[in-house]
């Protein structure tokens, strides 16, 4: 008779620790901003001697979360890239782990439960491509030598209390379970794109959203789920959005899809958690909010936009930094 109460108490404790982790990470972002006058890129151009541009901005936060010795490991030795196992990439950082995210125990490369918000942008959000939207607080670093500027508080026209900085996303488990796992499609099917708007290509997420079948699992009739070690959340230092980003297009605990059948591509990457009913997010002002999976998310059949209000309701508005949307309560 006492078991449900015990389980509820344990989950409450885990959720509290998760909230504290998010507060610590957002505080680290603030301290980074104080030092460098901007937030880090979601995906940074290099790390120490390594010339790989696939590292995550979570790496440069290490000195700000009392992990300076780990940071030092990457400064004098070339750590190659985020998918090569070494003492840096396999480190397990408790501040980056939600205790409810039980799949992290399988992560061979450290693992991470928290991801940067890339806002309501899907097309080319892996690269910072000028043809893709850069509407979130974080975005990719480089495209053919072009480096979009890192964001700062001044560019956050919607206000720090109305902008998601980071969010939870459950790590994958190589099954069709929706939470934590990603469907792979082709360039113009699972996230259909429109190229009629000049150089800015736009995608919509309704096909992706419709791939959920019974019992919180994907219908894999048309598209496949990633297997092997390329699981969401399994590489803490990888800066590609497949491993690093949350998009505010579909609400928490919805489908996640990539459109180039590869872990290096852009896509729609939904927040998720093992906390019942939604997921925690860290707002840019340092507060933590639990976002319900029933939050107003507008219309997934609408194409993403380059500027102006988000078509994805309150959830989309929380992701854009200068959409100009009135939010009210959420």
pLDDT, tens digit, 9 for 90 and up, residues 11-66: 888 999 999 999 999 999 999 999 999 999 898 878 888 888 889 999 999 999 99
Backbone φ/ψ region at 6: left (φ over 0), alpha (ψ -120 to 50), beta = alpha
Q: How far are the Cα atoms of 20, 156, 248 from residue 24, in angstroms, in the given order?
A: 6, 21, 22
83 bridge partner residues: none
**Residue 12 has what pLDDT?**
85
Q: Is the pLDDT of residue 137 over 90?
A: yes
Q: What is the mean pLDDT of residues 211-221?
A: 94
- Domain positions in the chain are 3-319
Where are the strands (E) in 8-113, listed by range?
43-44, 55-56
Range 283-302 average pLDDT: 97
- pLDDT tens, 176-200? 999 999 999 988 899 999 988 777 7
What pTM value is reported for the model? Answer: 0.94
Instruction: Identify the H or E element spanning 29.
Output: helix 3-36
Over range 300-327, report the average pLDDT: 94
Single out the residue of 321, 305, 301, 325 nearest to residue 313, CA to CA: 325
Q: Are 272 and 169 in contact (CB under 8 A)?
A: yes
Q: Please give the structure tokens belonging to residue 247.
A: 């998009």
For the residues 200-209, what does the mean pLDDT come to?
A: 92
pLDDT attached to residue 58: 97
Q: Which residue has the tokens 């854009």?
A: 320
Q: Mean pLDDT across the chain, nearest whole number?
A: 91
Q: With bands split at pLDDT 50, 70 and 90, how would you rate the model's confidence at 130?
A: low
CB atoms near residue 289 (< 10 Å): 18
pLDDT score recorded for residue 129: 62
Is the pLDDT score of 225 beyond 60?
Answer: yes
More confident residue, 82 or 198: 82
**What does the alpha-carbon distance between residue 205 and residue 211 come to, in Å, rounded to a whole number?**
10
């Amino acid at each position: 008779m006492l078991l449900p109460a015990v389980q509820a108490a344990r989950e409450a404790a885990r959720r509290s620790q998760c909230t504290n982790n998010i507060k610590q990470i957002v505080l680290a972002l603030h301290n980074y901003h104080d030092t460098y006058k901007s937030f880090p890129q979601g995906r940074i151009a290099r790390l120490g001697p390594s010339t790989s541009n696939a590292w995550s901005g979570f790496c440069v936060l290490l000195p700000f979360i009392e992990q300076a010795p780990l940071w030092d490991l990457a400064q004098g030795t070339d750590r190659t890239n985020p998918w090569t196992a070494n003492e840096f990439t396999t480190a397990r950082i408790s501040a980056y782990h939600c205790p409810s995210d039980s799949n992290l125990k399988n992560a061979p490369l450290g693992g991470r439960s928290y991801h940067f918000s890339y806002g309501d942008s899907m097309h080319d959000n892996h690269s910072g491509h000028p043809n893709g939207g850069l509407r979130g607080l974080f975005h990719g670093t480089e495209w053919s030598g072009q480096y979009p500027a890192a964001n700062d508080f001044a560019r956050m026209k919607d206000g720090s209390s109305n902008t998601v900085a980071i969010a939870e996303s459950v790590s994958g488990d190589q099954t069709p379970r929706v939470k934590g796992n990603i469907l792979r499609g082709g360039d113009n099917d699972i996230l259909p794109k429109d190229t009629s708007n000049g150089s800015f290509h736009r995608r919509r997420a309704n096909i992706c959203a419709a791939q959920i079948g019974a019992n919180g699992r994907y219908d894999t009739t048309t598209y496949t789920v990633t297997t092997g070690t390329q699981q969401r959340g399994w590489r803490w230092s990888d800066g590609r959005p497949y491993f690093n980003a949350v998009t505010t297009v579909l609400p928490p605990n919805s489908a996640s899809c990539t459109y180039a059948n590869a872990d290096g591509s852009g896509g729609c990457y939904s927040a998720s958690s093992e906390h019942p009913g939604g997921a925690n997010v860290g707002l840019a002002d340092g507060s933590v909010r639990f976002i319900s999976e029933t939050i107003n998310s507008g219309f997934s059949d609408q194409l993403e936009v380059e500027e102006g209000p988000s078509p994805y309701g309150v959830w989309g508005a929380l992701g854009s930094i200068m959409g100009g949307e009135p939010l009210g309560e959420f």
